A and B are shown apart, each in its own frame.
With several copies, the nearest count.
Chain A
Amino acid sequence: MMFTTADLKNLLQVWAEMMGKNADFLIDLDGIVGDSDLGLTMSDGFRSAADNAAGSDEADLGKTAYGAGKAMSNAVPSTMGTLMASGLMAIGKKFKGIESIEDSELPEFFQAYFDGVQSRGKAELGDKTFLDGLAPAIEAMRSSIAAGEPITETAVKAAAAAHEGFLATKGMLAKHGRAGGRGEQSRDILDPGAAVADLLLQGFKSFIETKGK
């Protein structure tokens, strides 16, 4: 199967809905050490990314992702807003000039997202950030594809891994953002950014499910 520009637009819609539904969950999570804005920034941000993609008649996969990222960065210049925008824009740079990729290339799609976030935010794995939710999902995707599993199975495993990754942020010491200022106090809590990674992969799973039907 192929992942086309139209699929990207659908995926962005799913993500926007996912963030909208989970806005209160993210607000509460960010409220513990942060400024409670994450639910709003993520729902607004992915909404504007999805709307931008939906409203464009661009057929190029990369350019569509890049434009969606820029729209998000304008809409929500918060930490996670800018990081998520950087992820989408990095996908844009990587897949510029093509209109679809193979499903088997989807780990590279998420890897580009990861690289975009990492090169913008300069966090390391284990720093208790978004990256700690996304990294295990990419790894799970790769293994699943290497094992020749169908993409629906891959998406389920990736989502499970992202959720594990999110849960595993409890116990980590935060080094960035507002939580980073709390030192040892930060260990007890789950990282809100990693929760976003989890939601992205839950969204990806349901996108794949729906597409398979």
Chain B
Amino acid sequence: MKKIINDPKNFVPEMLEGIYAAHPNEVAYVNGDLHCLVNARKHPGKVGIATGGGSGHLPLFLGFVGDGMLDGCSIGDVFQSPSAEQMFEVTKEIDQGAGVLYIYGNYGGDILNFDMAAEMADFEADIRVESVVAGDDVASGEPLAEGKKNTRRGVAGIFFVYKCAGAAAAKLKSLDEVKAVAEKVCANVRTMGVALSPCIVPRVGRPSFELAEDELEIGMGIHGEPGIRRGKMISADEMVSEMMDSILKDLPYAKDDEVAVLVNGLGGTPLEEQYVVYRQIHKILDSKGIKVYHAYVGEFATSMEMAGFSISLLKVDDELKELLAAPVDTPFFKQAQF
């Protein structure tokens, strides 16, 4: 196991110690628990936004805590939910009187714990909490439909939910308004991924699955959940075309629609290759008359050293464009107003 770690048991706390040591003016932890991370800067009157989830996806989730985005994040062990108590501690710390919005990915363990935390916040601390659950992975469930439960996994597209909701909260919008923004983004974002190689959970010490030297898996989840098809390696352009087909079909797009694009490296894939991918996405969108409002390329939601990438498209209107363009300053993600 070629990992740059010490005792696998200490992987998460040591990583967190490193983060607090590296960014002492930007992030802090509450209740003496490294797993309860908050923005070191307070913004009175603002709706607090919290997220949380398992470790192993940096910069997701904690990396988006900072000005213009999230206020707090509870952190679990690798690929494991943090506890409701930890979420509750973060909730108490970030509530500024305007209530707290939970935004997290559609995974069983996270849902149960965030629900429990929301109850604790209500019963024990009288804090109003609302929740928005992101499920953007088109490879993992039926298309969204009015009144139907979304069974799709939350993946890199949650970045757009954080970004827009964070910008709305920074403008001191109300909890209901910020929630409405988050829901609007969830309704308009679609993602699809491809994996080329597995990752190793440090405590487990062996890969979670095997892919032959000439194989890939289209639609695999960020914890190695099974995808849509496993097949022989194909060219970058072919991968992108196949993935874009599924994405574009899922939320019908029309000529002259505008989108924001996110190319997300899974951890082991060079940035060069991600730009080769972006090139083909841009070509496809061009050919359909769909305009790119803004493109993000890099690592946003990883699976440690997994090789592969995902593509997320967010259909934008004037409101979302304005929210996307707002500045952000977190230790892991910075953006100037554009």
Contacts and interface: CB of A to CB of B under 8 A. Distances in A.
A176 interface: yes
B84 A176 contact: no
Contacts of A82: 81, 83-84, 109, 112-113, 116
A121 B111 CA distance: 9
A78 B81 contact: yes
Contact of A120 (B79, B86, B112): B112
Interface string B273-303: 0000000000000000000000000000000
A83 interface: yes
A54 B76 CA distance: 27
A75 B84 CA distance: 10
Nearest to A120: B112
Interface string A69-103: 01001110111001101100000000000000000
A73 B89 CA distance: 14
B85 interface: yes
B109 A70 contact: no
Nearest to B112: A82
Interface of A: 35, 37, 70, 73-75, 77-79, 82-83, 85-86, 120-121, 176-178, 180-182
Interface residues of B, number: 19
A73 B226 contact: no
B91 interface: no
B81 A177 contact: no
27 contacts: A37-B80, A70-B85, A73-B83, A73-B84, A73-B113, A73-B116, A74-B83, A74-B85, A75-B83, A77-B76, A77-B86, A78-B80, A78-B81, A79-B109, A79-B112, A82-B81, A82-B83, A82-B109, A82-B112, A82-B113, A86-B116, A120-B115, A121-B112, A178-B108, A180-B151, A181-B140, A181-B226
A182 B226 CA distance: 9
A85 B117 CA distance: 13
B109 A120 contact: no
Contacts of B115: 120
B17 interface: no
Nearest to A35: B79
A69 to B, nearest CB: 10
B82 interface: yes
B109 A77 contact: yes
Nearest to A77: B83
B81, B82, B84, B86, most chain A CB atoms within 10 A = B84
B85 A73 contact: yes
Given A120-B115, A181-B226, A176 B85 contact: no
Contacts of A121: 112
Given A120-B116, A181-B140, A181-B225, A77 B108 contact: no
Contacts of B85: 70, 73-74
A153 to B, nearest CB: 35
A181 B80 CA distance: 17
A77 B113 contact: yes
B112 A83 contact: yes
Contacts of B81: 77-78, 82
Contact of B82 (A35, A77, A120, A181): A77
A82 B111 CA distance: 10
Interface string B224-249: 01100000000000000000000000
Interface string B103-141: 000001100110110000000000000000000000010
A20 to B, nearest CB: 19
Given A74-B86, A82-B81, 6 more contacts: A73-B116, A77-B86, A79-B109, A86-B112, A86-B116, A182-B226
A23 to B, nearest CB: 16
Contacts of A37: 80
Nearest to B74: A77
Contacts of B82: 77
A75 to B, nearest CB: 8
B22 to A, nearest CB: 26
B102 to A, nearest CB: 15
B81, B108, B112, most chain A CB atoms within 10 A = B112
A77, A79, A86, A120, most chain B CB atoms within 10 A = A77
Contacts of B226: 181-182
A181 B227 CA distance: 10
A77 B113 CA distance: 7
